[in-house]
Amino acid sequence: MNSSSFLLRIRIVFATILLTSSLPAFADQTNGVLASVFVILGLGGFTLVNLALQLLFYFNGQYNSRRFVITHTSLSLLMPLIAAAMVLADNSSTAYLTLNLGLIIIAAALALLPLQLKNSPRRSGPHAGWIMLAAAAVLSLLSLLAWPLSVIAAILAWFTVNRQPQENRLFKSCRWLLILLPAGWCVYKLYYIWQLLLGS
């Protein structure tokens, strides 16, 4: 296996968890760089998207439900935990470790914001479910540029259940469409990456 093929496969592996479709060309130069790239691009991008979702859920009234708050917070903490595991497993110096762990702590603190926002929740409006579906549709479109967003879009559409006071047939159809389409896109991209990894 030549060096260019080997570097390509490394970049493909990390593309499955980053919110971008490629890695910088320097990703193979030193130990710890890949973990730093994941923290900055992957965790950073996830945190920005999650902050937008927190604003949506707060003003749309989802944080009235304690169960929803706990679920959202728990899912939001998964990314910082993954980043922490990567940093601890792949670091070349104390400077890398300190910088990355500092960024991870900030991301984890922001992920805990729903626990504070639940103390002053907004009431859920009559179109709360439709607003969440609209957000899922936007994320689905953005996933054409950064396919990992399709996972968030499908999860968001799934959690619209019981969020609309009157769930008519149109609402249910749109909900399942926005679950299945992003999920299918995600499966397709994962299959494509798997085929590249196998060298086919």
Render each residue's pLDDT in the chain as its tens digit; 200 residues.
444 454 445 445 444 444 344 434 444 445 667 888 888 889 999 999 999 999 999 988 889 888 999 999 999 999 999 999 988 887 777 877 888 899 999 999 999 999 988 888 778 778 888 999 999 999 999 999 999 999 999 999 998 877 776 778 898 899 999 999 999 999 999 998 888 888 75
pLDDT given at position 32 = 64
pLDDT given at position 31 = 62
pLDDT given at position 96 = 78
* pTM for the model: 0.74
Distance CA 66, CA 69 (A): 5
Distance (Å) of CA 193 to CA 4, 40, 89, 95, 199: 17, 22, 24, 33, 10
Distance CA 37, CA 156 (A): 26
Which residue do the tokens 């549709």 mark?
137
Q: Calculate helix-pair angle for 94-111, 66-89, nearest 10 degrees.
A: 170
Distance CA 83, CA 41 (A): 11
Structure-block tokens of residue 32: 């710890």
Q: What is the DSSP string of 48-111?
A: HHHHHHHHHHHHTTGGG-HHHHHHHHHHHHHHHHHHHHHHHHS--SHHHHHHHHHHHHHHHHHH
Distance CA 70, CA 46 (A): 18
pLDDT given at position 24 = 43
